[in-house]
Structure 1
Amino acid sequence: MLGKETPPMTELLFLTASENISGGVETVRQALETLRANYGKVGVFRPFINAHPEQDPILTEFGGDWGTTRSHIVANETAAMNQVISKFTAFNHDFDAVLIVGLIDGDLINPGELTRAGRTAINLGATVALLVDSAVRTPERLADYCKLAVNELNSVHAPVSALIVLNPTEGARVAISKHLGDMRVITELNDYALIEATAEKTHVVTPLMFENALKDRARAQKRRIVLPESEDDRVLKAAAIILEADVADIILLGETGEVFARAEALGLDLSKATVVSVNDPAYRERYVAEFVRLREKKGVTVEQAEAKMSDVSYFGTMMVHLGDADGMVSGASHTTAETIVPSFQIIKTKPGTSIVSSVFLMLMEDRVLVFGDCAVNPNPTPEQLADIAISSAETAVAFGVDPRIALISYSTGASGSGPDVEAVIEATRIAREKRPDLALEGPIQFDASVDAAVAKAKLPDSEVAGRATVFVFPDLNTGNTTYKAVQRSAGAVAVGPVLQGLNKPVNDLSRGALVEDIVNTIAITAVQAQN
């Protein structure tokens, strides 16, 4: 999902019941025999167990690993799910296939258990094989039950690749096929249909999947991220989380005694952080001299440079510029201008890029979308809008999103006119000329960019319409309003703003940022610094 190299994928199958059954353990045994006959190395993973692993029938008989307890997920599903994902990621190495065992004989059935199992499956990247018992129902009632259960799993975006029917009765397969069409129905576990189900892939990307993959990517090549706002408790808390998870090395700007005293008062372990004072001569003299050099054509004096280097935003940006840090995250207690203006003066834009812009990574229930520019440029020119589109596509690729770029307008194709539409038409032309390899469409209305039925009516031949992943808005008013509307009404997680177009990564925080927002932004900055 994240990264430039795609390692060989482990085949995954999430085997679960939706009710109390008997015969589940035997089904696991048969499934493992089939998988081991077809794959070299097969693992077993239990996302949730009732209490102790030595009392779990699957782990005691077949071995493997587990994520957390059922009481944990009932108490705090997000924390429990993060633990499951983390444990599974650590476990899922060097296997050709992994059988993930959800609800089985003797497991507790709590309200919402089936949808919870579905959310677990998609967060682990697996399709579902649902265990159902034919003996307790007539074929028609069994088919109705299966349809309801499959719909419930699909409602949380969990794909069902097979129904495994225990105690199959005459007519069961026919009745299920009548209700569920071409659903794979397995009555014999040594049937090749189980291998087909295991090999099916899901393309769902949940917010938790994205956030955990982001941290894994950052952890793989750790970078040093400077945080200028050590006086903000949210920043200190985020730094402690990043350090504990070993996602990045942290540099805090401030006075050592003050920073560690506040950390102790908050109960935080920042012992692995580096604290740097803006008055430290080991840094300050170099930074002042470099700022004078960079701004000599603007007539900047040594005294003026001294004043600038007393500002934590300028000091932190200079750390990145001179390689003493790999990236910077600021803005929790500073304005956007205070955070990014120093980067314009010191780090500057990438060659061939005319403008620094921003995107939000919009983590929807089942996919990641990219919205830009939503934070920096009020009224970009067509040339600038084209560069924003290209930069947004590059950011999308860096974070595992296949870029299909929609340049948004109130008009689709040739249906409208006026200066605003003409600007988007020109921006699309320029972007296509600069990057003919990109899938671009514009002008296009938002509904035509995301809805296949509308796209078919308005732009039937477009490779972007109806399936866009990157949305470039014509101005800041539209972009900022849209991302917030989607965030609040669709329950999306908005990660950003992520700045793009700079030679080195500097990212701005909202002053209302939560601790988890800061954690995500640090991880994103660390990943940007790897490229």
Structure 2
Amino acid sequence: MITKSLYFLPMASDESAIKSLGFLKETLGKKYKKLAIFSPVAREFADFNSCFSRDELISHILNKRVDELKKVVIKRYQELLRDNDFVLVIGVKILYLDKFDFNCQLAKDLNSPLVADYSDDLESKFYTFKCAKSNVESFGFMVNNSFSFTNSNKTCSFDEIKVSPEIFTQELSSCKCNITTPLAFEAMLYEKARANLKTVVMPEGNDDRILKASDVILRSGAVNLIILGKSDEIDKKANELGLDLKKATIINPEDNEYLDEFANTFYELRKSKGVELFKAKEIVKDRNYFGTMLVYSGKADAMVSGADGTSADTVRPALQIVKTKPGVSCVSGAFFMCLDSEVVVFADCAITPNPTAEQLGGIAKSSIDTAKAFGISPRVAMLSYSTAGSGSGKDVDFMVEATKFAKELSGDLVDGPMQFDAAIDKVVAAKKMPNSNVAGNANVFIFPDLNCGNICYKAVQRTAGAVAMGPLLQGLKKPINDLSRGCLVEDVINTILVSAIQAGENQ
């Protein structure tokens, strides 16, 4: 991704910062007609877009609401990116925080290369070291009216660049930013869902987490919601919790205008399985069956359930009513694993215990579709304890066969079998699988079975501090997604957003 922004971190005196900012504005202004200047906090020496006063920003930090602060900043930044050719971000210089670490993380959240001004060369060397350690993209630094570019190690005076601004812009064009942090990914979900408004049904209106998540979603305007339950009980609970659910549609699954229609439809769908009409009338009153019928009939676009029930309670109606897409042999569960600076896909981690080789090839294809729907260019690793024939045995043979099926469906986007280190580490890949386009660059990981996938995603989540979003149920004709009974409000919010986006992709 070619960068459309720079994050300027003023570390020297205000006088130096003003001069460096003026240089950046003048240089960038020669290439970009619509140049926006933006800072999270209003500053005394410049007039530009901002989100907070200095006191407001300090209050957020002292009260440990940094993520809340960053979400506001990311949203405003994305708006400016849409409306301008380039955004110059001015970092925060406040005594109450570790200036470099805070700004470094915020630059990563904005996927913006970092440039700083310093008073001497020693400080600049420290800056270069910190950038590398923090895995943030460094564009360069300014010291004593000169600019040092990170990628080329070239140093030019301000005067040289003013005479030949293409020096600067050519360096900028070679600077690629491919960082996606968990907060940035969440912001993308809101933006993508809001751009194609869908309706998601929430069957578990009795659960406080569902109601709290619904309040956040409805305030955002990103998704329309149908909540199942008795309206008086939901209204009472909302008042107790201080929630605003007025924009939600509330339906009692046991008493509503759709019951006869849904009973007749379900009877036609399942009569060959021995379901009689009187039984169908009772079944569709079940909240998960009723929610699934709303999706099947087009009155809702997706469903999210499972906070107050088992996975089977959510998945069984989906398989009976919505059913799988043509050519899909089994439903699978994928997780978005949001790492420090990248989002990857793990599958299957939730649904099919022991897939056949052909089913695993289909799971790889479904995971590719999931990745593409969320802006990830898929490179799929079929995982094993063996890389390129280094090991042998029936488990290796199984993954060889699964890789063959996956390649038949998806071509060069898939490779394997390979070990996890060969899939993700370029140095290891160069030794173990040097001719692979996937090895060392994989971002979609297909596990041999549910045992491996579930253990691995939880291990990464708990030990590496990754944010796990999911499971997303893959392979269904319409999105029905399952929550963990231990889910947090944030998990429910993310699953609602993901489900709405899936519904948009199904059009």
What is the TM-score with the length of structure 1 in the denominator?
0.89
Residue of structure 2 aligned with 1:57, choices 29, 45, 48? 45
Match of 2:18 in 1: 25
Equivalent runs, 1:332-481 vs 2, <5 Å: 332-436=307-411, 438-481=412-455
Deviation at 1:23, TM superposition (A): 2.2
Describe the shift of the 1:410–1:30 C-alpha distance in structure 2 as closer, same or farther (beyond 3 A): closer
Secondary structure of the 1:38 match is: coil
Secondary structure of the 1:465 match is: coil
Equivalent runs, 1:28-427 vs 2, <5 Å: 28-49=21-42, 56-59=44-47, 63-66=48-51, 69=54, 70-75=57-62, 76-103=65-92, 107-134=93-120, 142=121, 144-167=122-145, 182-188=152-158, 190=162, 192=165, 193-199=167-173, 200-427=175-402
Counterpart-to-counterpart distance in 1, 2:302 and 2:125: 51
- 1:154-203 Cα offsets, whole Å, 9 max, x none, are 333221112122356xxxx8xx79xx783343530625243345543311
Secondary structure of the 2:15 match is: coil
Structure 1 residue identity aligned to 2:196: Q
1:14–1:100 Cα contact (<8 Å) kept: yes
Match of 1:6 in 2: none
Counterpart-to-counterpart distance in 2, 1:293 and 1:281: 20
Match of 1:52 in 2: none
Deviation at 1:35, TM superposition (A): 2.0
Match of 1:138 in 2: none
Counterpart-to-counterpart distance in 2, 1:308 and 1:489: 42
Deviation at 1:408, TM superposition (A): 0.8
Secondary structure of the 2:153 match is: coil
Deviation at 1:46, TM superposition (A): 0.8
Structure 1 residue identity aligned to 2:135: H
Structure 1 residue runs of 5 or longer lacking an equivalent are: 2-8, 50-54, 135-141
Deviation at 1:507, TM superposition (A): 0.3
Structure 2 residue runs of 5 or longer lacking an equivalent are: none
Counterpart-to-counterpart distance in 2, 1:527 and 1:294: 27
Structure 2 residue identity aligned to 1:308: I
Counterpart-to-counterpart distance in 1, 2:256 and 2:60: 51
1:222–1:248 Cα contact (<8 Å) kept: yes
Counterpart-to-counterpart distance in 1, 2:206 and 2:445: 36
Q: Identify which range, 152-161 or 356-365, moves more after superposition.
A: 152-161
Q: Identify which range, 287-296 or 299-308, moves more after superposition.
A: 299-308
Describe the shift of the 1:296–1:379 C-alpha distance in structure 2 as closer, same or farther (beyond 3 A): same
Deviation at 1:419, TM superposition (A): 1.8
- 1:232-282 Cα offsets, whole Å, 9 max, x none, are 000000000000011100100001111111001100000100001112341
Q: Identify which range, 264-273 or 412-421, moves more after superposition.
A: 412-421
Describe the shift of the 1:463–1:528 C-alpha distance in structure 2 as closer, same or farther (beyond 3 A): same
1:13–1:197 Cα contact (<8 Å) kept: no
1:358–1:499 Cα contact (<8 Å) kept: yes
Describe the shift of the 1:93–1:396 C-alpha distance in structure 2 as closer, same or farther (beyond 3 A): closer
Residue of structure 2 aligned with 1:514, choices 482, 488, 500? 488
Secondary structure of the 1:435 match is: helix
1:68–1:84 Cα contact (<8 Å) kept: no
- 1:205-240 Cα offsets, whole Å, 9 max, x none, are 111111001110000111000000010000000000
Counterpart-to-counterpart distance in 2, 1:112 and 1:73: 14
Structure 1 residue identity aligned to 2:276: T
Counterpart-to-counterpart distance in 2, 1:377 and 1:42: 51
Describe the shift of the 1:332–1:129 C-alpha distance in structure 2 as closer, same or farther (beyond 3 A): same
Structure 2 residue identity aligned to 1:278: P
Secondary structure of the 1:471 match is: strand
Deviation at 1:112, TM superposition (A): 1.8
Structure 2 residue identity aligned to 1:217: K
Counterpart-to-counterpart distance in 1, 2:60 and 2:80: 20
Counterpart-to-counterpart distance in 2, 1:167 and 1:381: 64
- 1:132-164 Cα offsets, whole Å, 9 max, x none, are 123xxxxxxx1x422211221333322111212
Structure 1 residue identity aligned to 2:477: N
Counterpart-to-counterpart distance in 2, 1:262 and 1:278: 18
Describe the shift of the 1:364–1:68 C-alpha distance in structure 2 as closer, same or farther (beyond 3 A): farther
Secondary structure of the 2:344 match is: strand
Secondary structure of the 1:460 match is: coil
2:139–2:151 Cα contact (<8 Å) kept: no
- 1:461-495 Cα offsets, whole Å, 9 max, x none, are 11111111110001111000000111111111000
- 1:353-372 Cα offsets, whole Å, 9 max, x none, are 11110100000011111000
RMSD: 1.9
Counterpart-to-counterpart distance in 1, 2:467 and 2:390: 33
Matched, 1:494 2:468: yes
Secondary structure of the 2:258 match is: helix
Q: Identify which range, 461-470 or 181-190, moves more after superposition.
A: 181-190
Counterpart-to-counterpart distance in 2, 1:412 and 1:262: 55
2:80–2:87 Cα contact (<8 Å) kept: no
- 1:476-531 Cα offsets, whole Å, 9 max, x none, are 11000000111111111000001110000000001110000100000000000001
Counterpart-to-counterpart distance in 2, 1:184 and 1:86: 34
Q: Percent identical across equivalent pairs?
A: 40
Describe the shift of the 1:181–1:233 C-alpha distance in structure 2 as closer, same or farther (beyond 3 A): closer
Deviation at 1:65, TM superposition (A): 3.5
